[in-house]
Amino acid sequence: MKSVVYSSPFVPAEWIAAHGVRPMRLRPDPAAALPSTGPLMGVCPYARAFTSEAGTSAGAVIFTTTCDQMRRAAEWLSLEGTTPVFLMNVPATWQTPAAARLYRDELQRLGRFLVALGGAEPSRDRLAATMETYDARRRLLRGDLAAMTARGASEAIARFDLGEEPGNGGPPPGTAAPLMTLRGGSPDPPRRNAASSQSLTPAGAAGRETRRAKTETLRSPTSHVEEPAAHKTAASGAAVAVIGGPLARGDGRLFDALEKAGGRVALDGTESGPRTFPAPFDRRRLRDDPLMELVDAYFGTIPDAFRRPDTLLYQWLSRELAASAARGIIVWRYVWCDMWAAAAARLREATALPVLDLDVTGDASEFGRAANRIQAFMEVLK
Amino acid sequence: MTGTAKRLTMEAFDRLCRRHLAAGTPMPGYAGPLARHVADGDRRLLKLEYDDSAAALRLWSFLLTEEERLHAARAAGMKIVGAMKDLGTVPVMAYSLPNVVAFYPDGAWWTPCVMELSEGLFGIAQSLGLGDALCPVRAMAGAFINQAHFPIPDLLTCSVGATCDDFSAVAQRLESLGHPILWWEMPSRRRPESGEAAVTLPGGFRAPASQVAVVRSELERIRDALAALAGSPLGDVELAAGIRMANRVRRILGELRSLAYTVEPCPMPALEMLIAEMLAIHFCSDRAESVAVLSLLLQEVHTRMAAKRGVLPTGAARLFWVNPVADLRVMNLLEDCGARLCGTEFLFCHALDEIPEDLPPMESLASMALADPMVGPSADRAARIVRDARAFGAEAVVISRIPGASHCALEGTVIGRIVREELGLPVVELEVPPVADPMWPTLKTRLDALVETVLERRKR
Ligand code: SF4
Ligand code: SF4
């Protein structure tokens, strides 16, 4: 089976799988980025690492337009000519029916790309069945996450994204690929009042807003996750929310450093955490119009910094921060990532909580500096 | 520079201005010595050198009095639109309405340069969390906060999507501070797939027809918002008239560019050409006057050509310049190094191309907006640079990197690679900060070396 790698949470794994192609959401290793992958200065180390690793390890690569760096990295890799590259246009705006239509059209274009790679266009039933399978697996994952440390949960999500069955001790046959990390699951409870297929019509837009708000309330990943046993041992530690961009391979050490400094991860709001899970699928819509349900569950609900306006993100944060009782926030961002650049100042304003703006280079030798800053931050919170 | 029209210091430029005013040379009310702007803090003006002509006097005064025009428009009851990021589309629509003026708050990009960082805009931006990892457009946020530069617009629009992260981040921060924004989507322009209905955009890029339709529907939202703001309909008739006027500006500028970038000796300096190109984006808040200002510059060029008089010695190295310079003084520097401009791509070549007049107006505007070099592949942008550099006879290409800009690193490398392959020309990448004085020796050395290379290559 052909595999495609991607990084953005806006690429639905089930859409790829329904085409008979194996989806692999990659957490790249910045330390392993090839020197030939673009200049060092000015290029986001995560985007650079993804481009480097994806270009050498997959049958094809999907980039998204969710940031300038990835958009341009896609071109960089396609000019290399070594791997088929698909650049998926994920609109920044989301409040208009036209934006959702554009996302849907891009999924269909992605479908044609997958067919050209050797996949097959899925029937409606096949798509619905694949979506149901993913939904069920995400529910299982959710259950698993409840008993894990922050790092363990993050790594479980990464394995899930690679295709590993939640609850199993290891990856299903053939999925223990050297790529290590993928992601894409959603451990959310079933969504009520999910969007209907009319949601792309102007009349449906307002209704979708309401549904989205309800869905968002229902999604609340951490508020539905039981306090992990491992955390209970550190219950006296100050609760901290980690919010920001993606985690690369090995970035789980962030959670270790935080716990070592006496903190407790009360909320993983990184791009690689449960924040970017799609909403659970609505059973009825899944059968009626699975593609539109996919659009609504991903494009209609995932909160992220690149969206304009970024209301969904701040609604999500306000709810989740309250639920997590976090006493401080760490903004996790790669240098040159503009999307998260202003987040620290805004969060300080919006929450009145102490905020650590942690910019990282992905260079393993520099992680000590980040750990020291985390340590100092925790001193403040004590 | 024997036989050439020399560049003037600001003092000399102001003397020229006073002479013209005393002699009764017809000048609009805004024209006057630049010293008045220095008194307001525009200290970089003291270090620039200017073209020795009445046309340049008017150009500079026109540019530097824009804020006054905007305040006057507000006082006169006109509506003010702050168009952000699209560089050339929304103003064409806004100026199609009689009681609306539009400007680009993005223009604050240059304020730290013009005021030599004395204005504190970067400091304000920093306090908002917008640090130097972002390009100089972060100054715009400072200008909204201190309100010392432009009036707060009645309507703010911002194109997002396949634009740049810097702008998107800064604009989002603005919105979080209570400035509502009408966001509109600019899809990532892609090459049409086989069998897909495609169109050729102004300027020559190809795109799927479906993408033009997306942009058109987004611009319809802008049209509605503008009409609501103005309190009068913005129909196709009004838009068609607006497009014709915009094309007038673009045609004059087109002729000016083609002469300024090709004729020997060079008839118009680089700095004035940079300013002239900027007029095409939003007419410097007065469309009719921008036609007059550009026409005067063009007339000056014709006069110099007839007299075989230029602003530089014949034989200056012919450089194609990519990206605007954050420090305007670098435009003087390139000439000091023995070079001249032979073509530019200042991020808005789509605002220089004529807008089709034979299509429904919204279709034309959508096509033009989608032709923005920044919303498509860098390879497209590179192809345009290759084409224009060839047409203008450039002998080298300078890619001027913008500090903090999210697109520059990878894009500059791609453009450099393609230009080298296609044209075999030397390419230099320079980073130009808003006040480049500390880097002057480095910049000069690199431009000197480039000029030397060009002159050496001529001997082959
Ligand atoms: S970390 Fe930021 S800049 Fe880097 S790929 Fe992610 S969103 Fe883009
Ligand atoms: S200079 Fe570049 S990064 Fe900055 S606003 Fe303009 S296009 Fe965006």
pLDDT tens-digit profile of A287-331? 999 999 999 999 999 999 999 999 999 999 999 999 999 999 999
CA B297, CA B283: separation in Å to the nearest integer?
15
Q: Are residues A263 and A363 in the same domain?
A: yes
Q: In ligand 1, which atom is closest to the CA atom of A306?
A: 7
Report chain A's terminal Cα–Cα distance, integer Å.
52
Q: Is B414 near chain A, with CB under 8 Å?
A: yes
On the question of pLDDT at A9 being above 50, the answer is: yes
DSSP-assigned letters across all residues of A128-160? HHHHHHHHHHHHHHHHHHTTS-HHHHHHHHHHH
For residue A332, the SS3 value is strand
On the question of pLDDT at B38 being above 90, the answer is: yes
CATH value at residue A95: 3.40.50.11890
Domain total in chain A: 2
Q: Is-contact B144 B152, C-beta < 8 A?
A: yes
Bigger pLDDT: A226 vs B441: B441
Residue recorded with tokens 């931006």: B125
Residue A167 lies inside a defined structural domain of this protein: no
| Confidence grade of residue A41 (pLDDT, cut at 50, 70, 90) | confident
Q: Is the ipTM of this complex over 0.90?
A: yes
Output the pLDDT for position A366. Answer: 85
Residue A142 lies inside a defined structural domain of this protein: no
Cβ-based contacts of B379 with chain A (< 8 Å): 75, 79
| Confidence grade of residue A180 (pLDDT, cut at 50, 70, 90) | very low
For residue A6, the SS3 value is strand
Cis peptide before A173 (omega within 30 of 0): no
**Residue A22 in tokens:** 């194996």
| Confidence grade of residue A167 (pLDDT, cut at 50, 70, 90) | low
Output the pLDDT for position A236. Answer: 64
**Residue B208 in tokens:** 């799927």
Residue A129 lies inside a defined structural domain of this protein: no
CA B423, CA B394: separation in Å to the nearest integer?
10
CATH value at residue A283: 3.40.50.11900
Q: Is B407 near chain A, with CB under 8 Å?
A: yes
DSSP-assigned letters across all residues of B160-200? EESS-HHHHHHHHHHHHTT---EEEEE----PPPTTS-EEE
Half-sphere exposure in the Cβ direction for B201 (13 Å, CA): 33
| A339/B217 CB distance under 8 A | no
Report chain B's terminal Cα–Cα distance, integer Å.
26
C-alpha A333 to ligand 1 mean position (Å): 8
Q: Are residues A113 and A210 in the same domain?
A: no
Provide, rounded to the nearest whole percent, the portion of chain A with pLDDT above 70.
81
Bigger pLDDT: A38 vs A359: A359
Which of A106, A123, A140 terminates a domain? The answer is A123
| Confidence grade of residue A342 (pLDDT, cut at 50, 70, 90) | confident
pLDDT tens per residue across span A231-261: 334 456 899 999 999 999 999 999 999 999 9
pLDDT tens per residue across span B259-269: 999 999 999 99
Q: Is-contact B331 B59, C-beta < 8 A?
A: no
**Residue A94 in tokens:** 């989301």
pLDDT tens per residue across span B212-235: 999 999 999 999 999 999 999 999
On the question of pLDDT at A211 being above 70, the answer is: no
C-alpha A271 to ligand 1 mean position (Å): 10
pLDDT tens per residue across span B141-168: 999 999 999 999 999 999 999 999 999 9
Cβ-based contacts of A109 with chain B (< 8 Å): 193
By Cβ distance, the residue of A38, A308, A336 closest to B406 is A336
On the question of pLDDT at A173 being above 70, the answer is: no
The CA dihedral of A222, A228, A233, A235, to the nearest 10 degrees, is: 20
Which of A63, A88, A123 terminates a domain? The answer is A123
| Confidence grade of residue A1 (pLDDT, cut at 50, 70, 90) | confident
Residue A160 lies inside a defined structural domain of this protein: no
On the question of pLDDT at A224 being above 50, the answer is: no
Q: Does A246 sit in the ligand 1 pocket, CB within 6 Å?
A: yes
**Residue B439 in tokens:** 């880097």
Cβ-based contacts of A346 with chain B (< 8 Å): 129, 173, 176
| A338/B214 CB distance under 8 A | no
Output the pLDDT for position A230. Answer: 39
Average pLDDT, chain B: 96
Q: If we measure between CA atoms, which residue out of B228, B219, B182, B280 comes closest to residue B93?
A: B219
Q: Is-contact B74 B80, C-beta < 8 A?
A: yes
Output the pLDDT for position A207. Answer: 36
**Residue B285 in tokens:** 């808040």
Q: Is A178 near chain B, with CB under 8 Å?
A: no
- The size of the A-B interface in CB pairs under 8 A is 136
Residue located nearest, by CA, to atom 8 of ligand 1: A67
CA B229, CA B80: separation in Å to the nearest integer?
9
Average pLDDT over residues A268-296: 96
Bigger pLDDT: A47 vs A37: A47
In Å, how far is B455's CA from the nearest CA of chain A? 29
Of the bound ligands, which one is closest to the alpha carbon of residue B105? Answer: 2
Q: Does A337 sit in the ligand 1 pocket, CB within 6 Å?
A: yes
Instruction: Give me the domains of chain B, ranges plus CATH numbers.
Output: 238-458 (3.40.50.11900)
Cis peptide before B267 (omega within 30 of 0): no
**Residue B23 in tokens:** 């002699």
In Å, how far is B188's CA from the nearest CA of chain A? 6
Of the bound ligands, which one is closest to the alpha carbon of residue B141? Answer: 2
Output the pLDDT for position B83. Answer: 98
Over the range A160-190, which residues count as b (16 or more CB within 10 Å of their CB) and which as e?
A: bbbbbebeeeeeeeebebebbbbbbbbbbee
By Cβ distance, the residue of A75, A112, A338 closest to B133 is A338
CA A19, CA B265: separation in Å to the nearest integer?
63
SS (H, E, C) B117-128: CCCCHHHHHHHC
Pocket test for ligand 1, best of A10, A43, A67 (most atoms within 8 A of CB): A67
On the question of pLDDT at A73 being above 90, the answer is: yes
Average pLDDT over residues A24-48: 85
Output the pLDDT for position A193. Answer: 33
The angle at the Cα of B70, spanning B68 to B72, to the nearest 5 degrees, equals 70
Residue A76 lies inside a defined structural domain of this protein: yes
- Amino acid code (one letter) for A30: P
The CA dihedral of B35, B40, B45, B46, to the nearest 10 degrees, is: 60
Q: Does A329 sit in the ligand 1 pocket, CB within 6 Å?
A: no
Q: Is B411 near chain A, with CB under 8 Å?
A: yes
In Å, how far is B424's CA from the nearest CA of chain A? 19
Residue A228 lies inside a defined structural domain of this protein: yes
Q: Is A104 near chain B, with CB under 8 Å?
A: no
Q: Is-contact B74 B151, C-beta < 8 A?
A: yes
Q: What's the whole-model pTM score? A: 0.91
pLDDT tens per residue across span B338-348: 999 999 999 99
In Å, how far is B425's CA from the nearest CA of chain A? 20
Q: Are residues A286 and A370 in the same domain?
A: yes
In this predicted structure, which of A231-245, B406-420, B437-451 has the lowest mean pLDDT? A231-245
Q: In ligand 2, which atom is closest to the CA atom of B404?
A: 3
On the question of pLDDT at B31 being above 90, the answer is: yes
Output the pLDDT for position A82. Answer: 87
On the question of pLDDT at A181 being above 60, the answer is: no
On the question of pLDDT at B21 being above 80, the answer is: yes
Of the bound ligands, which one is closest to the alpha carbon of residue B163? Answer: 2
In this predicted structure, which of A317-321, B244-248, B367-371 has the lowest mean pLDDT? A317-321
In Å, how far is B189's CA from the nearest CA of chain A? 9
Q: Does B454 sit in the ligand 2 pocket, CB within 6 Å?
A: no
Q: What are phi and psi of A349, to 5 degrees?
A: -60, -45
CA B297, CA B252: separation in Å to the nearest integer?
9
The angle at the Cα of A26, spanning A58 to A130, to the nearest 5 degrees, equals 85
Q: Are residues A207 and A303 in the same domain?
A: yes
Which of A123, A149, A168 terminates a domain? The answer is A123
Q: Are residues A82 and A213 in the same domain?
A: no
pLDDT tens per residue across span B61-107: 999 999 999 999 999 999 999 999 999 999 999 999 999 999 999 99
Domain around A119: 3-123
Q: What are phi and psi of B100, to 5 degrees?
A: -125, 135
CA B147, CA B144: separation in Å to the nearest integer?
5
Q: What are phi and psi of A23, to 5 degrees?
A: -85, 135
| Confidence grade of residue B3 (pLDDT, cut at 50, 70, 90) | low
**Residue A39 in tokens:** 């200049």
Average pLDDT over residues B246-256: 98
Q: If we measure between CA atoms, which residue out of B339, B279, B240, B357 comes closest to residue B62?
A: B279
In this predicted structure, which of A24-38, A276-290, B224-238 has the lowest mean pLDDT? A24-38
pLDDT tens per residue across span B95-114: 999 999 999 999 999 999 99
Output the pLDDT for position A147. Answer: 87
Residue A187 lies inside a defined structural domain of this protein: no
Q: Is A67 near chain B, with CB under 8 Å?
A: yes
Cβ-based contacts of B166 with chain A (< 8 Å): 68, 338
Output the pLDDT for position A204. Answer: 36
Of the bound ligands, which one is closest to the alpha carbon of residue B104? Answer: 2
Residue A184 lies inside a defined structural domain of this protein: no
Q: Are residues A116 and A213 in the same domain?
A: no
| A306/B168 CB distance under 8 A | yes
On the question of pLDDT at B29 being above 70, the answer is: yes
Instruction: Check residue A21 and report its DSSP letter.
Output: -
Q: Is-contact B82 B156, C-beta < 8 A?
A: yes
Average pLDDT over residues A337-356: 92
Q: Is B197 near chain A, with CB under 8 Å?
A: no
Q: Are residues A326 and A206 in the same domain?
A: yes
Cβ-based contacts of A79 with chain B (< 8 Å): 379, 414, 417
| Confidence grade of residue B6 (pLDDT, cut at 50, 70, 90) | confident
